[in-house]
Structure 1
Amino acid sequence: MGDAIKHGFANLLNIQGKDDRPTFWWWVLFVILVSFGISTFASFGFVASSVGDAMTLASNGVDESQVEIAMMQSMADGLNTQTWISTGVSFVGLGYLVVIVGGLLPSKTG
């Protein structure tokens, strides 16, 4: 997998080249894992922030309904950032689809 990743970065902008199937699929797996890791890490950040705020309010004796309101406000405040992250991950997913379909189509040789 390491050789496929090195090869993928070295030929990132080379659209004329052809690779063998294992190299292609190791590269696709690497990109999927990196994207999943980034989106998971970003989600944990938003959840931790909301839960941390709720725990702080609850430990200060704030009413449960006020804690819920504060959590909803925190989620609403982070919505813009979450939207951009989700949009970016969606475009990456669309790119995967293009790469996979392009890899499955017959190529013209000669």
Structure 2
Amino acid sequence: MIAAIKYNLANLTNFRGREGRSAFWFYFLFLAIIQIVVSFVISMAMTGPMMVDVFQAAQQGLSEAEMQQRLFGRLSGMMRISVWASVASTLVLTALLIASFTRRLHDSGKPGWIAGLTVVIQLAALGLAVASIDKVAQLMIIAQSGDMAKLQEAQAGMMLNGVLGWVPLLIVIVFGVWPSTDGANRYGEEPDHI
């Protein structure tokens, strides 16, 4: 596993040759763990101050409605930061994965443009996420109002972004598990097992 991670980190700009399934998936797992840890740290950093604010509001004797209003106000700002943090981490992880995915495609005899298409779809999903930041903040206000019909309508309008965000991951999974070509192919010799 460590050898696969070292190999991939040393070949971040190498789009030539082939990469076996195990090396690719160990590296993918490494990146997934990093994303989970980064997301957890960001979440804790944002949630902590919000909870302190709620406890202070309770100590000040604010009513439940006032505390909810304060909480939803903080959540709206937190959602904006969360979207930008997600966009930044996704861009970094996409950049770290693209060469490895291209070599993995080559190992199964597939062209590297599939990786490029995956990046384009990922960028489109990120663009939609950034464009919908205000809509996400608006969801917090609608949720606070308690109007479930309006909330469901607003969520339905954002469904495309949610679905589009999963497409690149599905492409990586499908082509990542594709069987390797036995022996040499047009992209080179069969990779050494890392």
Shorter-chain TM-score tier: 0.7 to 0.9
1:17 corresponds in structure 2 to 17
1:109 corresponds in structure 2 to 185
Q: TM-score, normalization: structure 1?
A: 0.78
1:47 corresponds in structure 2 to 47
Name which structure has the greater RCO, CA cutoff 8 Å, separation 6+: 2
Matched residues in 1 for 2:4 and 2:180: separation? 22
Q: TM-score, normalization: structure 2?
A: 0.48
- Name the SS for the 1:65 alignment partner: helix
- Post-superposition CA distance 1:24-70 (Å, at most 9, x none): 11101101111111122222222222211101111122222211111
Q: Decide which moves more: 37-46 or 2-11.
A: 37-46
Deviation at 1:88, TM superposition (A): 4.8
What is the one-letter code of the residue matched to 1:85?
A
1:82 corresponds in structure 2 to 82
- Post-superposition CA distance 1:63-93 (Å, at most 9, x none): 2221111111111122211222344566656
What is the one-letter code of the residue matched to 1:3?
A
Are the aligned partners of 2:54 and 2:70 in contact in 1 as well (CA < 8 Å)?
yes
Matched residues in 2 for 1:15 and 1:95: separation? 18
Structure 2 residue runs of 5 or longer lacking an equivalent are: 95-165, 187-194
Q: CA RMSD in A?
A: 2.7
Q: Decide which moves more: 65-74 or 100-109.
A: 100-109
Q: How many residues align?
A: 110
Matched residues in 2 for 1:67 and 1:16: separation? 57
Which residue, 153, 173, 176 being the options, matches 1:100?
Answer: 173
**Identity over aligned residues, as a percent?**
25
Structure 1 residue runs of 5 or longer lacking an equivalent are: none
Matched residues in 2 for 1:40 and 1:10: separation? 27
